[in-house]
Structure 1
């Protein structure tokens, strides 16, 4: 497409000057390519020819098939692109300057109670089958066999050393997701060298390649230590090329674990515990809400979660207030 070079220059600028993550840049590339390709098909041959009416026509077409949240991201990409093009003298005026961003309703995140978290972390083993699957051998044929995790307290009695190692891994992952509130991508990307068990901290790399150090408590530290001592070496031995050597959490073939497997572990463990079925991000929401409920400062929670803006963290105060209101209406005689 004739505008590809402009898009690539813009994405390079975002990476170098704003530190946007690879996933965000990938989404921006797709949004800009779709927008400019449509205008190209309509006869626009130069960035300088694009008008506000052209962009509003594109918006009208996209709005018919995309949710407001998706449209907000698409418009942010287009507005950012044309603002950059104007600042760098590629266009005489900015046609996107008058384009508004649709308001996106605030959806309160799913949050477990403290009792539900205890039930999930200490609950029974999930039943085998369903969801994401991990191979139990190095044979491609084994890809059809399900992962069979069991809780750590059952791992010691397992006759299958791989099953025992996976059980230890899953318990450690769940404890760390809740104890730290890190994103699943941050957990998967962590290395053994990033963990300081004596200080109870882990260093993670978040959005925009920003690093932060996050604390965790004694239960997570104990579970993680057992995984590192008794579980991780078993799975590491299965790596044919040593590709998982530095990774904190491993898949059953010894490589760095995939995010999809972590999500499946969380889904299955929550189902087995009889609590609302959740994804890993819900444990992040839960950790933040429980910290605020316990009296943590909003700025401290912002730093722990790695939010660029405190406004993102503030939505958890809404969750806390909803829970307070429910307890108030239940307990107060003149509610």
Structure 2
């Protein structure tokens, strides 16, 4: 088992070299170390039977399907690595199946509720630099569908003010250019011209969004902002990802091409984006049932 543990650390370094997200590497490491410890405690060989025994124990203890699926994915990737390294004679991960996940449609805010939120934020941002910064954050999250981590990572140099484009760095350090609309453009221009200089201090970074202390705005601060605003609506308290879901769904509602939405969101697979078509169809069915005389 010592050789397995050594190869596990090599495997994690390999993932980092490939540019996988830090959170993914962290979860893979946690799951696989747990498996190794389980096999050692039960005096089991590191093989398919040990993995199945481990997953069964997790399931019996109440582990969610999503947890089992994540752990299974980690094992399959590590098994492939061990086989290629000549540590195991057979890639047993190929025979390991993930549990079928129940598809949960993402929570989406209505266009009307988001318009009302942004109108309120625009009103209170007239002379308040923090309110101006918050308006920019909300406009970009909903206006582009970017992730909150991508928003917080934006520097001034990433914004093309002339063409209404912003460069973001997504998962795996992959960069993409996103367009933003005239509402966001107005908010950004006013904030950069009037609000940001009031928040900036000599040690401030080149971040687009600055906090009241002149530091780069963090994910938690944006999460709190979005959650507080959405809590007042029928959507209820929800985080920035709801704005990402809403942006994608509203684009498809208004006829946007699925592949264009995929590029906007930075999804590697079109299948990931397709869940929003289900949301749009469900919304269409609800509207039909409520409004059509022959429903």
TM-score in terms of structure 1 length: 0.83
Paired residue for 2:77, among 80, 103, 111? 80
Unaligned runs of 5+ in 2: none
Unaligned runs of 5+ in 1: 124-150, 158-163
Instruction: Report the CA distance between 1:331 and its aligned residue.
Output: 2.0
Paired residue for 1:115, among 95, 112, 120? 112
Q: Where does residue 92 of structure 2 map in the other structure?
A: 95
1:332 pairs with 2:292: yes
Q: Where does residue 209 of structure 1 map in the other structure?
A: 173
1:154 pairs with 2:119: no
Query: Aligned equivalents of 1:154 and 1:56: distance in 2?
Result: 57
Against the structure 1 CA distance between its residues 275 and 79, is the aligned structure 2 distance closer, same or farther, given a 3 Å change threshold? closer
Against the structure 1 CA distance between its residues 169 and 33, is the aligned structure 2 distance closer, same or farther, given a 3 Å change threshold? same
1:5 pairs with 2:6: yes
Q: Where does residue 260 of structure 1 map in the other structure?
A: 220
Q: Where does residue 29 of structure 1 map in the other structure?
A: 29
Query: Aligned equivalents of 2:147 and 2:273: distance in 1?
Result: 14
Equivalences for 1:1-335 in 2 at 5 Å?
2=2, 3-17=4-18, 19-44=19-44, 49-63=45-59, 64-123=61-120, 151-156=121-126, 164-237=128-201, 242=203, 244-272=204-232, 276-335=236-295
Residues 134-192 of structure 1: per-residue CA shift (max 9 Å, x gap): xxxxxxxxxxxxxxxxx3433445xxxxxx22111111100110000000011011111
Instruction: Report the CA distance between 1:56 and its aligned residue.
Output: 0.9
Query: 8 Å contact 2:108–2:235 — kept in the other structure?
Result: no
Query: Aligned equivalents of 1:86 and 1:36: distance in 2?
Result: 16
Against the structure 1 CA distance between its residues 290 and 152, is the aligned structure 2 distance closer, same or farther, given a 3 Å change threshold? closer
Query: Aligned equivalents of 2:178 and 2:210: distance in 1?
Result: 21
Instruction: Report the CA distance between 1:251 and its aligned residue.
Output: 2.0
Query: 8 Å contact 2:5–2:36 — kept in the other structure?
Result: no
Query: Aligned equivalents of 2:66 and 2:143: distance in 1?
Result: 29
Cα RMSD after superposing both structures: 1.7
| SS of residue in 2 equivalent to 1:283 | helix
Instruction: Report the CA distance between 1:277 and its aligned residue.
Output: 2.6
Query: 8 Å contact 1:120–1:275 — kept in the other structure?
Result: no
Query: 8 Å contact 1:119–1:273 — kept in the other structure?
Result: no
| SS of residue in 1 equivalent to 2:168 | strand
TM-score in terms of structure 2 length: 0.94
Query: Aligned equivalents of 2:168 and 2:35: distance in 1?
Result: 35
- Stretch deviating more after TM superposition (176-185 or 98-107): 98-107
Q: Where does residue 136 of structure 1 map in the other structure?
A: none
Residues 192-219 of structure 1: per-residue CA shift (max 9 Å, x gap): 1111121111111111111110111000
Query: 8 Å contact 1:192–1:246 — kept in the other structure?
Result: yes
| SS of residue in 2 equivalent to 1:198 | coil
Against the structure 1 CA distance between its residues 223 and 273, is the aligned structure 2 distance closer, same or farther, given a 3 Å change threshold? farther
Residues 29-86 of structure 1: per-residue CA shift (max 9 Å, x gap): 1111111111122235xxxx42221111110111223211111111100111011110
| SS of residue in 2 equivalent to 1:208 | helix
Query: Aligned equivalents of 2:54 and 2:233: distance in 1?
Result: 47
| SS of residue in 1 equivalent to 2:214 | coil
